[in-house]
């Protein structure tokens, strides 16, 4: 077992701006980060596209695939790429789940689709929904209903009607005497259904009420709902639009009832787990579901392999093996993982290759600091002070050979589109670094600082008219990688290297030999 120790900090959502437009990282006062970049070995890593297993370099990275790559040292097909491959091969329509749900509908049930309506390729892609609608009709399903979650986060902030029009056009093309498909309900992704880490079950309950029971404010169409809410709430962006139900003749067009089938077409797991539990678990008690219909439910993927949730899923997830966490357990290195609720799953579940359980109860300690349940631009410092308090305490304890932590500020505040608040969030992380550096010197740890993707570095973008508007999505920009308090002199230059190169680098800093299957270490001298 090595006597060397490493602490790794993920500054979530902190990339390097390409042009300075809307760069909250550049505008923030960051004397500690500036000093580290000036004086320490550093490089920049690719954190999007093919470097993290996504279909192309046009695809933004995200925290989930980013932490997968950081934690396993390898590049696996992820998210949209997995689903694209399954649709292209037809495997999705030969899956056990598809056959069960389709057969259920051929007996007279309705096929419902719930998911994020955009082409952001982070949680979902509208093309997958359109393909499944086409296949449903082809295979004899008579009736389909779509429950749409509005994005404005991984795509432009007020682009919802673009995707609603795309869906409505496809439904018009498919609808005839043999097939009846409609939009049934919806709402903003930060208002209903897509909570994560059990932070706000009221969001999931609100989604359940509109999707399942058809209970909510009624509108004749999704377009009418969106336009009305925008008129009533000046400046509101898509992710924050309230829930709505589409009705005809005073009745919901698509309640979920006994004998129906339901597909959650999001492929990313974190914001899919809670609504899946509500559908899948007989002993569910997080909120009162009311009269619960007997349905067949499936996810696009299995969102949690350890919990086997959901039981039915359309596309096999990547089988991630040989992770850094497992490697360190085998080599006797005790580990500590820490973040607040919003990114706790990223330094545990996603870091460990989509695994909920620890590799060792005695060699690993995980700690979650509860996030505030407010809009993150209201408290942009989030829990950075509390996270820093705890990591300093554990560094001084000397108990752990490897410590990993995540500061969510750059990402979670960046997603609000509030530039001023995001500047404060970045500054809060820099203040945390300033507190940690002296403790690194005191305790002899080597400090590694990086990020999982960009976000705060690109808070503005030009619309089709060339006018700057708030940007709430991740960026395609590279992220920093810095080593402090080591004898490393040189790192691999920016270029092809990405997040998957970090695992081998950490292992080398610990005085161990990286696995051959990992991407190579960044250390060159």
Q: Are residues 336 and 289 in the same domain?
A: no
The domain of 150 spans 80-299
Q: What pLDDT is stored for residue 199 in this prediction?
A: 87
**Residue 268 pLDDT level (bands cut at 50, 70, 90):** confident
Query: What is the rounded CA–CA span in Å between residue 279 and residue 310?
Result: 9
Contact 376, 416 (CB under 8 A): yes
DSSP secondary structure, 97-153, as one string: HHHHHHHHHHTT--EEEEEE-S--SSS--HHHHHHHHHHHHHTT--EEEEEEEE-SS
Query: How much is the mean pLDDT over the chain?
Result: 95
Q: What pLDDT is stored for residue 302 in this prediction?
A: 87
**Residue 466 pLDDT level (bands cut at 50, 70, 90):** confident
- Name the percent of the chain lying above pLDDT 90: 89
Q: Are residues 481 and 335 in the same domain?
A: yes
Q: What is the CATH number of the domain that holds 432?
A: 3.40.720.10
pLDDT over 70 at 1, yes or no: no
Q: What pLDDT is stored for residue 305 in this prediction?
A: 62
Residue 1 lies in a domain: no
Residue 324 lies in a domain: yes
Smallest CA-to-CA distance from 506 within 78, 7, 96, 65 is with: 7
Residue with tokens 């129906």: 260
Q: Are residues 369 and 411 in the same domain?
A: yes
Q: Are residues 32 and 94 in the same domain?
A: no
Residues 55-75: tens digit of each pLDDT: 888 888 989 899 999 999 999
Query: What is the rounded CA–CA span in Å between residue 315 and residue 496?
Result: 29
**Residue 79 pLDDT level (bands cut at 50, 70, 90):** confident
Smallest CA-to-CA distance from 432 within 365, 346, 338 is with: 338
**Count of Cβ atoms closer than 10 Å to residue 375 Cβ:** 15
pLDDT over 60 at 306, yes or no: no
Q: Are residues 293 and 382 in the same domain?
A: no
Question: Per mean pLDDT, which range of 32-46, 272-286, 292-306 is the poorest?
Answer: 292-306
Q: Are residues 408 and 453 in the same domain?
A: yes
Q: Are residues 26 and 145 in the same domain?
A: no
Q: Are residues 160 and 286 in the same domain?
A: yes
Per the structure, the count of domains in the chain is: 2
Q: Are residues 14 and 162 in the same domain?
A: no
Residues 202-220: tens digit of each pLDDT: 999 999 999 999 999 999 9
pLDDT over 80 at 197, yes or no: no
Q: What pLDDT is stored for residue 370 in this prediction?
A: 97
DSSP secondary structure, 441-478, as one string: HHHTPEEEEE-SSBSTT--EEE-TTS-EEE--S-B---
**Residue 113 pLDDT level (bands cut at 50, 70, 90):** very high
Q: Which of 17, 63, 95, 521 is catalytic?
A: 63
Contact 55, 494 (CB under 8 A): no
The structure's pTM equals: 0.75
Bridge partner list, 149: 116, 187
Q: Is 231 exposed, middle or buried (0-12, 13-18, 19+ CB in 10 A)?
A: exposed
Q: What pLDDT is stored for residue 2 in this prediction?
A: 66
> Could you give the 3-state DSSP secondary structure of residue 388?
helix
Q: What pLDDT is stored for residue 464 in this prediction?
A: 66
pLDDT over 90 at 356, yes or no: no
Q: What pLDDT is stored for residue 255 in this prediction?
A: 98
Residues 440-460: tens digit of each pLDDT: 999 999 999 999 999 999 999
Residue 63 lies in a domain: no
Q: Are residues 183 and 286 in the same domain?
A: yes
pLDDT over 90 at 318, yes or no: no
Q: Are residues 179 and 291 in the same domain?
A: yes
- Report the residue count for the chain: 525
Residue 493 lies in a domain: no
Active site residue 384: no
* pLDDT, average across residues 251-266: 98
Distance from the Cα of residue 199 to its chain's centroid: 15
Query: What is the rounded CA–CA span in Å between residue 281 and residue 278?
Result: 6
Q: What is the CATH number of the domain that holds 192?
A: 3.40.1450.10
């Amino acid at each position: 077992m090595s006597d060397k120790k490493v602490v790794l900090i993920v500054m979530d959502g902190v990339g390097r701006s390409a042009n300075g437009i809307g760069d909250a990282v550049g505008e923030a006062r960051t004397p500690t980060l500036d000093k580290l970049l000036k004086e320490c070995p550093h490089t920049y890593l690719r954190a999007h596209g093919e470097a993290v297993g996504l279909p192309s370099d046009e695809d933004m990275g995200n925290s989930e695939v980013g932490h997968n790559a950081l934690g396993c040292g390898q590049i696996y097909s992820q998210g949209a790429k997995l689903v694209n491959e399954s649709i292209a091969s037809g495997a999705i329509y030969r899956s056990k789940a598809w056959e069960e749900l389709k057969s259920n509908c051929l007996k007279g049930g309705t096929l419902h689709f719930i998911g994020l309506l955009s082409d952001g390729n982070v949680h979902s892609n509208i093309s997958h929904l359109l393909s499944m609608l086409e296949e449903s009709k082809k295979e004899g399903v008579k009736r389909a209903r779509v429950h749409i979650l509005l994005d404005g986060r991984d795509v432009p902030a007020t682009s919802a009607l673009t995707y609603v029009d795309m869906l409505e056009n496809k439904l018009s093309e498919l609808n005839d005497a043999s097939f009846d498909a409609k939009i049934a309900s919806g709402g903003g992704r930060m208002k209903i259904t897509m909570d994560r880490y059990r932070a706000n079950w009221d969001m999931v309950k609100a989604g359940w009420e509109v999707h399942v029971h058809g209970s909510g404010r009624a509108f004749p169409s999704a377009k009418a709902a969106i336009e009305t809410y925008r008129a009533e709430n000046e400046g509101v962006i898509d992710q924050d639009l309230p829930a709505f139900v589409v009705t005809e003749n005073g009745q919901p067009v698509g309640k979920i009832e006994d004998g129906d089938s339901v597909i959650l077409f999001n492929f990313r797991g974190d914001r899919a787990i809670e609504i899946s539990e509500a559908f899948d678990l007989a002993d569910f008690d997080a909120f009162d579901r009311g009269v619960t219909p007997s349905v067949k439910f499936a996810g696009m993927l299995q969102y949690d392999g350890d919990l086997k949730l959901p039981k039915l899923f359309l596309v096999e997830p990547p089988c991630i093996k040989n992770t850094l966490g497992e490697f360190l357990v085998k080599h006797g290195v005790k580990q500590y993982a820490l973040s607040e609720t919003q990114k706790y799953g990223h330094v545990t579940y996603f870091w460990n290759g989509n695994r909920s359980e620890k590799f060792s109860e005695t060699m690993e300690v995980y700690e979650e600091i509860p996030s505030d349940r407010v809009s993150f631009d209201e408290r942009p410092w989030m829990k950075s002070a509390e996270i820093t308090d705890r990591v300093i305490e554990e560094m001084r304890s000397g108990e752990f050979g490897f410590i990993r932590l995540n500061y969510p500020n750059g990402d979670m505040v960046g997603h609000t589109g509030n530039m001023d608040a995001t500047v404060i969030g970045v500054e809060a992380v820099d203040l945390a670094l300033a507190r940690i550096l002296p403790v690194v010197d005191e305790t002899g740890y080597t400090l590694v600082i990086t990020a999982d993707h960009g976000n705060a570095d690109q808070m503005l973008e030009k619309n089709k008219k060339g006018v700057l508007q708030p940007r709430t999505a991740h960026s395609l920009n590279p992220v920093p990688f810095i080593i402090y308090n080591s004898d490393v002199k040189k790192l691999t230059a920016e270029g092809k290297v990405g997040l998957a190169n970090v695992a081998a680098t950490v292992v080398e800093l610990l005085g161990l030999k990286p696995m051959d299957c990992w991407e190579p270490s960044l250390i060159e001298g």
